[in-house]
Amino acid sequence: MDVQRLYAAFRECGRVTTDSRAISGGEMFFGLKGENFDGNEYALKALEAGARYAVVNEDSAAAALGDSRVIVVHDTLEALQALARHHRENTFVDGKRLTVIGLTGTNGKTTTKELITRVLSVKYNVTSTQGNLNNDIGVPLSVLGVNSKTQIAVIEMGASHPDDIEKLVKVSEPDYGIITNVGKGHLLGFGSFEGVKKAKGKLYDYILEHGKGIFLNADDPILVGMAAGRKGLKAIEYGVDHWGVIVLPSDADHPFVRMAIPDSVTDPVASTSSATGNTSVPELVDAAGNPSVPELVEGPMFRLGSPIAEATDRTENLLCLETHLAGAYNANNIATAIAVGLHFGVSLEDALRAVSEYIPKNNRSQLEKTERNILIEDAYNANPTSMAAALDNLALVQAPLKAAMLGEMRELGEESVSEHVVVLEKLAAMNLDLVCLVGEEFRKALDLKQMVRQAHPSTSAPKSTSSVPELVEGPDVRLVSPAIEMTPNFKWFPTSDDLVVWLKDHPVSDHTILIKGSRGNRMEKVLSEL
């Protein structure tokens, strides 16, 4: 493969696409081949639609045409990645190599990437991963999206197999690395939690050998341990507790994340020392011991004076931030964005203002008030770590009626059933007014614990003599495990479509509802019925 020829063609085009339907004119089209598709078959259509060049595999029909616009390579995906790496190595800003921030983690990657982008955009021209294009195709496309005006690139990297991050850092060549967290996600591919740690840790390994440093959440013992185990790795430490940030409680009037941040927080200094541990921050309470929350006035951010300082034994002024993000777990994502901004010279107040203006629109941490309910929309993805965080947040929400509509968690391998049982136990302890579960993995967990009886399709079905409750019509589920109190409020559905049908006949009103599940569940379908 002649990467120089590829790069010369790319420079003529300036844009790359892998979708022949997205051709607007002048693009460089790559015909990628997967298990269920072959983009090589659409190369001629791409050229007819206005693509300047089409890159195809040597064994494709287009390769034999002899068209000067067709560039033949051995493997189009490898060519795309090689082109991106070459572009990364040959992109300079004011005579200096482009700064790239590489970001991965089990949860919070996309939200953190969006927040970082907005904070840095206060001062710089930033190019970042579009949507969630974070895999072996998306990362090179993101890198190729960098242009001569880009000052900082923020590249999100996803992983579901042991060598994914190792491959992606070779394409993006990050100067700084961020791991949002490490949890039980994609266990089918990684094999175990330790497999997840090892795979994500490849980002730290790359930064240790080639980069300038990592941004380290000093409140996360797993990340601290991973950093400490790599002698010489420079860590730029930050964190909610590390900084003494107060996360204010949410309620119906203030449903989004609110934080009181010391105005003494400044640029974190890179060091090779490990985090010293969490800082104990007194709760914000009134004289009676009840949560005391100041009124938010004069916009999304203002200085808190002596009343708050006295309540918390704090002497510094605090900046209060009100966001549009649902879920207290986003406090860590916000802190990451602030730390990155401070390091690159964005003032604390400007960083907070940028965060306050971010409104999610990607089914992540969204909160929507409909005519009947308040919806916490987090339906894009789910794994044990993110599911636990979402449920913990729901438990903290102050609302008269609360419900959870959860799709199964996928790609968990041998631990799938046990992890779904953990979710069931947490749900039972929460005493929610309604729980709707979707998918066979929840079914298996329920059956394993002998907590349910499959509903008969007809009321004429014979009565059971077993110790479980009488059969009920429809997809209702009743818990009877000794470890879990029996409740009539659990319901199970094979698919999200089945849940939609049930909701049409059983309207839900006046609830605060968490909607979450793995992407394949399509839990966003239920939103229209709520």
What is the pLDDT averaged over residues 179-199? 85
- Check whether residue 231 and residue 302 sit in a common domain: yes
- What pLDDT shows up at residue 386? 83
Q: Full-prediction pTM beyond 0.85?
A: no
Domain contains 361: no
Q: How confident is the model at residue 32 (pLDDT cuts 50, 70, 90)?
A: very high
Greatest Cα pair distance in the chain: 83
Calculate Rg over the CA atoms of the chain: 26
Domain contains 43: yes
Domain's final residue, options 26, 47, 79: 79
Number of Cα atoms under 13 Å in the Cβ half of residue 439:
21
How many whole angstroms from its chain centre is CA 43?
34
- Check whether residue 238 and residue 124 sit in a common domain: yes
Q: Which candidate, 379, 385, 364, 389, places its Cα nearest to that of 156?
A: 364
Q: Which domain holds residue 350?
A: 91-356
Collapsing DSSP states into helix, strand and coil, what is residue 519?
A: helix
Which CATH number covers residue 394? 3.90.190.20
- What pLDDT shows up at residue 461? 35
Domain contains 258: yes
**Residue 293 · residue 368 · CB < 8 Å:** no
Which CATH number covers residue 166? 3.40.1190.10
- Check whether residue 15 and residue 148 sit in a common domain: no
What is the pLDDT averaged over residues 327-332? 87
Domain contains 86: no
**Residue 526 · residue 513 · CB < 8 Å:** no
What is the pLDDT averaged over residues 408-413? 86
Q: Which candidate, 343, 345, 347, places its Cα nearest to that of 319?
A: 347
Rounded CA-CA distance 165/177 in Å is 12
* Structure-token pair, residue 317: 């002024």
- Check whether residue 351 and residue 371 sit in a common domain: no
Query: Per residue in 346-405, pLDDT tens?
Result: 999 999 999 999 988 766 667 788 889 988 887 777 888 888 888 988 888 888 899 999
* Structure-token pair, residue 227: 């950093």
**Residue 352 · residue 319 · CB < 8 Å:** yes
- Check whether residue 194 and residue 232 sit in a common domain: yes
Q: How confident is the model at residue 517 (pLDDT cuts 50, 70, 90)?
A: confident
Rounded CA-CA distance 316/466 in Å is 64
Which residue would you say has higher pLDDT here, 71 or 521? 71
- Check whether residue 386 and residue 476 sit in a common domain: yes
Domain contains 333: yes
- Check whether residue 296 and residue 407 sit in a common domain: no
Domain's final residue, options 21, 45, 79: 79
pLDDT over 50 at 51, yes or no:
yes
Rounded CA-CA distance 344/74 in Å is 41
Q: Which of 158-172, 250-264, 325-339 has the lowest mean pLDDT?
A: 250-264
pLDDT over 90 at 142, yes or no:
yes
DSSP 530: -
- What pLDDT shows up at residue 450? 57
Which regions of 21-175 does DSSP assign to beta strands (E)?
28-30, 53-57, 70-73, 92-93, 96-97, 99-104, 126-128, 152-156
CA distances from 153 to 79, 119, 311, 502 (A): 21, 13, 42, 46
Give me the DSSP letters along 155-167.
EE---SSTTHHHH
**Residue 132 · residue 114 · CB < 8 Å:** no
- Check whether residue 159 and residue 209 sit in a common domain: yes
- What pLDDT shows up at residue 201? 94
- What pLDDT shows up at residue 231? 93
Q: How confident is the model at residue 294 (pLDDT cuts 50, 70, 90)?
A: very low
Quote the number of domains for the chain: 3
- What pLDDT shows up at residue 291? 41
- Check whether residue 472 and residue 498 sit in a common domain: yes
Domain contains 312: yes
Phi, psi of 72 (to 5 degrees): -100, 130
Rounded CA-CA distance 322/299 in Å is 9
